Every structure is written in structure tokens, then in C-alpha cells.
Amino acid sequence: MRYLVTGGTGFIGAYVTRLLIQEGKEVVAYDIDPRREILEYLIGKEQIALVRMVRGDITDLAHLIRTAQEFHITKIVHLAALLSRASSENPSLAVRTNCDGTANIFETARILRLEKVVYASSNTVFGTADMYEKEYISNDAPHYPLSVYGACKSFNERFAGYYFSEYGVDSVGLRFPAVYGIGHREGAASSILTEELMVKPALGKPGKVPYSGNEIINWLHVEDAARGVVMASQKARTKTRAFNMGGEICSVAKAVAYVKKLIPEADLTFLPSRIEFSGKFETTRMREEIGYEPQWTLEKGIKQVIDAVRNR
């Protein structure tokens, strides 16, 4: 079984690549800017030889198809994207990358009759918690995206449905919440939380947390995110086409308390601004159909990040 992982040396992608290699799968990491050092950090110099790296752009359909054919790919994990901050700064580029690029993934799967596509959606397809009547936003709740990034992800879910109903392309979308952990990449909204809340205090620097403190966030450790991706890729056709994905749900203030438990002198300031990850999300569908349950608590995950930064 051979996987093409787009964004395979990115934040989540590198962890997915590592997990697949550990399970004995063959992996081609397809990335516009391959970062070999990330994979070396995660899997070591010996195992990295097992990963084929291809420099490529997801907006180049011909190159995608050629790569998939050359390496006899059977499944695609699609994680490459223009992240939230860059999407807001350049909406037209966001549409080309995040929408056209994802359409190219589905088209590659259709033409080559691939077994499975797992792609990254986001809980930013939903609006803020106050836009919904129930405490937990359901898996089938209507989409009210407030950002360019969220709108692109919402479109991709509809496009995935079209390719499934018209051509039988089997795909699963995973709505990632605030993903944190070692190796976070600048440009994702959740990376602001990791950097300001965990990395800077570990370095003895002041952190500015982009929340007032009371907001509720679904915190997903990157290793749980990767495990969920791999589990979804190994499931036969699911009833649900896109899933809310869960980690630990708790307030930003509680996360700050976890940091101060480890670093009592941490200088953390709440800001009135807010990034787009607040709210509680119902994740029963993913538990029942994929068998996924998060394994990382937020307290354990914060400690891992802080320890890693200090050890480096």
C-alpha cells in the first residue's frame, strides 16, 4: 500500500508520514517546499531514507497525476494548504491553492481510481459558538464560515460530496480544531496559541494569548491528529463524509493554568482579539465510524511542548 501525503513535511503531515512509516507503509511526501529537517527530527536519519520526497505544487494537476502513477499510489492523504493567515491576506491565492488544489486531488483519485482520499477540513467551516442553539455543534450543523480559509474548506466538503456521488471517489474530510504540538508551522491560527502560550514561556519570554481567557477551545494534539488521519485512511467507505474531530475541550484560562503550574513565573497576557477556534464540537460520529478517541490530555501535551523547547 502506497500513500501520497501532500504537505508531507508540514506540521500534521510530518507526523502522518512518521506514523505510516512506523506501520510499514510506503510514503511519498509531496510538498511545495519539502522540509527534510522536520522528518529527521521525528523519525531519524535512517528511517527518513524510507520516505520518497517529491517537490510539487497541488495546483499542478499533471504533476500530481504523473507522481501518483510513477509511484503506484493507492491512497492520498491531502494536507497541503495555504494556511489561515495567508488565506486572509491573499484570498485569490487561497482559492487557487485550497479549492483548485483540492479539486486536483479528487480528480487524480478519479482518473487513477485510487482507493481512498483523506483530506484536511477545519472546524472553521462553522461560525462561532453563539451562532448555534445547542452547546455542542453537531457534525451536520450548517456552515457559517467567517474567514476565507473556512469558506474554502466548506467548499471542499461540498466538492468531495460531488466527486463521491458522481464518480464514487471515496473520501473522508476531517475537521481539525486547534492543533498544537512540537513542530507547529507559522501561518496557522492555532500556531499562535502554541507559540505564545507554550513556546515563549519555555524560553523565558512574555507571551500574548489572543483570547480573553474564558473562551472554550477544542485542543487537539498533533499526534492525535495524525493518528486520526491514518485511522480514517484505513476504514472502508463510511456513512459520514466529513467528521468533527476532537481533542480536549477546555478554556484558554485553564490552559494558562497548566502552563503556570510548570512555569510559575510565566508572563502571559490575554488580548481582546480572538482567533477562530472557539466552541464545542460534537464528535460522536468519528468515534463510532472511525473508532477514534483522543489519547493526549492538554496538560500532558503542554508539558511535552515545554520540555521539548527547553531540551533544544
30 Cβ partners below 8 Å, 6+ apart?
4, 5, 6, 7, 8, 54, 56, 58, 64, 67, 80
What's the rounded Cα separation, in Å, for the pair 83 and 88?
9
Residue 277 pLDDT: 63
Cell numbers for 197: 502560550
Q: Please report the DSSP string for the chain in residue order.
A: -EEEEETTTSHHHHHHHHHHHHTT-EEEEEESS--HHHHHHHHHHHHGGGEEEEE--TT-HHHHHHHHHHTT--EEEE-----HHHHHH-HHHHIIIIIIHHHHHHHHHHHHT-SEEEEEEEGGGS--GGGSSSSEE-TTPPP---SHHHHHHHHHHHHHHHHHHHH---EEEEEE-EEESTT--TTSHHHHHIIIIIIHHHTT--EEESS-S--EEEEEEHHHHHHHHHHHHTS---S-SEEE---EEEEHHHHHHHHHHH-TT--EEE-S---S-BSEE--HHHHHHT-------HHHHHHHHHHHHHH-
**First-to-last C-alpha distance (Å) of the chain:** 35
What's residue 282's pLDDT?
Answer: 94
| Structure confidence at residue 64 (pLDDT) | 98
Rounded-to-integer distance, Cα 177 and Cα 246, Å: 7
Distances (CA, A) of 312 to 24, 41, 216, 306, 309: 29, 11, 31, 10, 5
Cβ atoms < 10 Å from Cβ of 161: 14
C-alpha dihedral sign at 290, 255, 13, 122: positive
pLDDT per residue, tens digit, the chain (312 aa), is 899 999 999 999 999 999 999 999 999 999 998 988 888 888 888 888 899 999 999 999 999 999 999 999 999 999 999 998 899 999 999 999 999 999 999 999 999 999 999 999 999 999 888 889 888 999 999 999 999 999 999 999 999 999 999 999 999 999 999 999 998 766 566 788 899 999 999 999 999 998 888 888 999 999 999 999 999 999 989 999 999 998 999 999 999 999 999 999 999 999 877 666 667 899 999 999 999 999 999 999 999 999 999 997
Q: Where are the domains of the chain?
A: 2-177+222-246
pLDDT given at position 210: 85
CATH number of 2-177+222-246: 3.40.50.720
Alpha carbon distance 30, 266 (integer Å): 39
Beta carbons of 32 and 57 less than 8 angstroms apart = yes
8 Å CB contact between 150 and 192: no
Question: Beta 268-270 vs 207-209: how paired, if at all?
Answer: parallel
| pLDDT the model gives residue 20 | 97
